[in-house]
Chains A and B, each alone.
Chain A
């Protein structure tokens, strides 16, 4: 069963409220079905993220794993992106060991934690003889979830849970992948709004869309740069205080603005 648990919307930066809807980062949680973890084996559980409208890209991923097991040092969890890229969340915590917790890894009970790149504590080395669940809170995964940034969220996500040692058995009780996506017209893996805020992309017309993506000369908004747009530019020729036809922003509509228009000639996004 595929479950879309909840939707979380977040604004990517303070002034984003003034931007168009398509600049808002969006966080969704997709949960994997619970299952018993095969003793001395592995299981896979999948969830499919459906296609979304517009070009959105992953800008952040966190993964929650909750499992019961009397010896978490037996366990490994790996997240697989629809593209096949895998990120090891934790691989037999405590192994290899330098003294503590011992050759069999962390012997604590149970996991209920979020794997997040930003976490301070590494899941691999977190261990306690008293804490239950022994892996809890926010923990840094073994692999880098940032490696999924810039990829499309759609498709089948897979969680692989493995138990390396026979004897102790456990259950995957809950697991979700939390995917934060944002419009990414230039496909650089970064929210467009963040590109603009950081100066990576220009947004001369202030529409919240990086100029490299926008149809800056489409004055009439028909989705293409045509003769009607040329007419608008020519009618504004000369000194111009902040008019739309001043594509270079120099206060005048001159040949340089004409050059920009001609270079964008045709349907928007065609180049």
Chain B
């Protein structure tokens, strides 16, 4: 497929939109949860688990996850009382409705959640369960602390760049989040009681080090022995402001990258075929020609001989370039080629062109591979001065078309050509069916279907474009990760999206544009339980941050975002999915938090209540909203 050569104006750089946020900006948190797993019996039929609940009394919620979890049996020892769980709805324990979702994130098992009114004071709650032999079970416990202001376990990696072969550190701290999204407050600290790493091949390793720091955080070190996804599990006790300890477990999905790194030099030149097009060959090490990476750099003009970084020399940002690039050159001297139209920038007299915040990312997964603060290129082309440069905006943000391409995997399914112009309806991550009701769309709507898949945004986008290539042009209505894939496709590749007529090019509903905590936490459960489709780094908060740092405003502006949440009934515990509610901050739709379903620069079409992510949740599936579908159908570009 032909890739786009992206150029963004200085404003996109100055706003920070195209910079990697620090890792602490996108932490994974576990709110008021204790997660206990692996009480599956290997040799018998009965497993058990004991845990402490320390609080002043209140509601305790227990959610067993696993095969046949709804028929588990157990008992609770609360103080001197013995409370049988089975058939306990007449007692203190209440078995709530089964809104654990039928297919949210592939978590297909209906779940029974038990709510218990636990007396004040320390009590031992013992849970026994009989589960089918040889299966793994997970018990999720909400200890009843105030989830809006309660103590939480929060973690982030110390660095955005995490390469195989290096030592990684997860920074863990306790945090008490103030209500209504105000700044988090520190707690009295955290004690890490356990830390393990589970690799995608199932190998489990213990953390190499656990180091309490003076600021109250704890640094958990582990060896990144191999590339790919790793789930770091941290168990800890968070001390709240009153000194009480709260048991918390957290699952952090880390992406260990490997491969190309920035060599530190670059060549800027042009050729006769495209005289206005300036080529920027960024030297790479550790890459094989033919591989593809995402590369980007800020363009700066620096006055005189200074660096413009604290030495008094004047420096100003000219713009940003980026794109997916196939590694070119020889095995000894590989490079990634970017480019820009020379008329897009202007250099004053005596100013030098330098690249700053140069980054390489994996193409698949978008994990950062390397970041360089500055690269001074060897400029072998005359760049225009201010009088020669065209006004910004007069040139395409992506172009010229067809100047570069990358190989994509062929899909095995034969897609016969249809022609015409369509409105593509895309499902999301790990979908078991296409959720859009075709009857609510015009006859030119086409349901994309590649079901039960765990795809990166890049693979998803390429697959979508390949299957939709049966049409001349199309707009996309994307559900969940389908919206991410649409934005990825439009940003990085030339496709039928670019030929669509007037109208809204990309419309998405419930898309985890800024990620979802479920991508890590539930992926970990899914991996343990053998359900769900596996961990997906792209839609974790970390992965989304890395991905969004490569998407300019011009592309974002073509995306119309819709978000939904559950019906808010006063004095009632509301949720879309009681299972996923354990991991999400309100308002949310059972999978995606409202705050993550929209991004700066996109068109926010608002939050609508009474709709959940998928069918099987408490409120109807958001894709079934006939009113919105009518609007999206009418407004959608073809």
**Bound-complex Cα distance A165 to B419 (A):** 8
B498 at the interface (CB under 8 A from A): yes
The answer to whether B499 touches A107 (Cβ under 8 A) is yes
Task: Please count how many residues in chain A sit with their CB below 8 Å of the partner chain's CB atoms.
Answer: 19
CB neighbours of A50 from chain B (8 A): none
Bound CA–CA A99/B472 (angstroms): 13
Residue of B nearest to A73 (CB): B472
| Chain A residue with Cβ nearest B406 | A99
Pair B498/A129 contact, Cβ less than 8 Å: yes
Complex: A107 Cα to B402 Cα, angstroms: 14
| A219: interface (CB < 8 Å) | no
**Do A104 and B472 form a contact, CB below 8 Å, given A98-B2, A130-B396, A167-B419?**
yes
* Residue among A70, A103, A128 making CB contact with B401, cutoff 8 Å: A128
Is B469 within 8 A of A100, CB to CB? no
Q: Is the pair B2, A107 in contact by a Cβ cutoff of 8 Å? A: no
Within 8 A of A (CB), among B42-68: none
Chain B residues in 8 Å Cβ range of A101? 2, 401-402, 494, 499
Q: Do A100 and B402 form a contact, CB below 8 Å, given A167-B419, A167-B420?
A: yes
Closest to A105 in B: B472
Query: What residues on A are CB-neighbors of B417 within 8 Å?
Result: 103
Chain B residues closer than 8 Å to A127, beta-carbon distance: 401-402
Q: Is A241's CB within 8 Å of the partner chain B?
A: no
The answer to whether A98 and B498 have CB atoms under 8 Å apart is no
Q: Does B499 contact A166, Cβ atoms closer than 8 Å? A: no
Which residues of the partner chain A approach B473 to less than 8 Å between Cβ atoms?
Answer: 104, 107
Instruction: Map CB proximity to B onto A65-106 as digits: 1 under 8 Å, 0 otherwise.
Output: 000001101000000000000000000000000111111100
Distance in angstroms between the alpha carbons of A129 and B401 in the assembled complex: 8
Looking at the assembled complex, report how far the CB atom of A198 sits from the nearest CB atom of chain B, in whole angstroms. Answer: 30
Q: Is the interface of B mostly helix, strand, loop or mixed?
A: loop
Query: Complex: how many Å from CA A104 to CA B494?
Result: 13
Nearest CB to that of B496 among chain A residues? A102
- A124-159 CB contacts (< 8 Å) to partner B: 127-130
Residues in A neighbouring B1, C-beta threshold 8 A: 99
Please tell me the number of chain B residues within 8 Å of chain A, measured between CB atoms.
20
B496: A residues at CB distance < 8 A: 102, 104
Q: CB distance B494 to A100 under 8 Å? A: yes
Q: Which residues of B are found within 8 Å of A98, using beta-carbon distances?
A: 2, 402, 405
Separation of A98 and B405 alpha carbons in the complex (Å): 8
Of chain B, the residue at the smallest CB distance from A125 is: B402
> What does the 1/0 interface line of B470-496 toward A look like (CB < 8 Å)?
001100000000000000000000111
CB distance from B457 to the nearest CB of A (A): 19
A103 to B496, CA, bound (A): 9
Whether A99 contacts B2 by the Cβ 8 Å rule is yes
- Cα–Cα, bound, A99→B396 (Å): 18
Contact of B2 among A71, A100, A168 (CB under 8 A): A100
Chain B 365-424 residues near chain A, CB threshold 8 A: 396, 401-402, 405, 417, 419-421
Roughly how many angstroms separate A165 CA and B499 CA in the complex, as a whole number?
Answer: 16
* CB neighbours of B3 from chain A (8 A): 99
Contact digits for B291-310, partner A, Cβ 8 Å, 1 yes 0 no: 00000000000000000000
Expressed in whole angstroms, the minimum distance between the Cβ of B491 and any Cβ of chain A is: 14
Given A101-B402, A104-B419, does the pair A129, B499 have CB atoms closer than 8 Å? yes
Knowing A107-B499, A127-B401, A129-B498 touch, does A102 contact B419 (C-beta < 8 A)?
no
- A65 CA / B301 CA spacing, docked (Å): 45
What's the nearest-Cβ distance from chain B to residue A71, in Å? 6
How distant is the Cα of A217 from the Cα of B495 in the complex, in angstroms? 72
For B402, list chain A residues within 8 Å (CB): 98-101, 127
The answer to whether A107 and B472 have CB atoms under 8 Å apart is yes
Q: Which residues of A contact B495 (CB under 8 A)?
A: 102
Q: Mark B449-485, 1 if CB is under 8 A from A, else 0.
A: 0000000000000000000010011000000000000
Whole-angstrom distance between the alpha carbons of A166 and B421 in the complex? 11
The chain A residue sitting closest to B420, CB to CB, is: A167
Inter-chain contacts of B472 with A (CB < 8 A): 71, 73, 102, 104, 107, 165, 167-168
In the complex, chain A residues whose CB is within 8 Å of the CB of B498: 107, 129
- Across the two chains, which residue of chain A brings its CB closest to B465? A102
Q: How many angstroms between the C-alpha atoms of A100 and B495 in the bound complex?
A: 8
A168 contacts across to B, CB distance below 8 A: 472
CA distance A167 to B402 in the complex (A): 26
Instruction: Find A99's partner among B420, B494, B499, B501 (CB 8 Å cutoff).
Output: B494
Residue from B419, B494, B496 having most chain A Cβ neighbours under 10 A: B419
Which of A73, A100, A102 gathers most chain B CB within 10 Å? A100
Q: Knowing that A100-B494, A104-B419, A104-B499 are A-B contacts, what are 9 other residue pairs whose CB atoms are under 8 Å apart, sorted by A's residue number?
A: A100-B401, A107-B472, A107-B473, A107-B499, A127-B401, A127-B402, A128-B401, A129-B401, A167-B419
A-B contact pairs, 12 of them (CB 8 A): A71-B472, A98-B2, A98-B402, A101-B401, A101-B494, A102-B469, A103-B469, A104-B499, A127-B402, A128-B401, A129-B396, A167-B420
List residues of A whose CB falls within 8 A of some B CB.
Answer: 70-71, 73, 98-104, 107, 127-130, 165-168
Closest 10 CB pairs of A and B: A99-B2, A107-B499, A100-B2, A100-B402, A99-B405, A104-B472, A100-B494, A100-B401, A167-B420, A129-B498
